[in-house]
Amino acid sequence: MKKVLIVASEMSSLLAQAMQHVLADKKRKVVICSHKQALTSFIEEEPNTVIVLDYYEGLNDGQLVGERTFNDLKAAATDEKIIRCGLDSYGHADYLKLPCDIEELKILLGK
């Protein structure tokens, strides 16, 4: 069974839960964690894909929380797909502007 890890802040927890509801099925398990728990959850859960919400939103010690999370996960990843999400539009191939089209998200997940 494939596993998706969704990393979310408190402000995006409802979005994470909605994504979990839409994406969870017989072929995929979806787990939600906070940015603070992201690296630990990544190691423990061994997901195929990670969705990092709040990529450019929210500062912690002067650094963007989502960007820091993404960079930490990218450094730890081997062949896992890591998708970054946020409210602005950027040219990254692995970036999804929110609100997103569920079909576009499924394409990024490889469905």
pLDDT 10s digits, 42-91 = 999 999 999 998 876 665 555 577 788 888 999 999 999 998 887 776 66
Query: Positive or negative, the Cα torsion across 3, 36, 20, 106?
Result: negative
The enclosing domain of 37 has a CATH number of 3.40.50.2300
Number of domains in the chain: 1
pTM attached to this predicted model: 0.86
Question: Which residues form the domain of 35?
Answer: 2-109
Q: CA-CA distance, 111 to 33, in Å (whole number)? A: 23
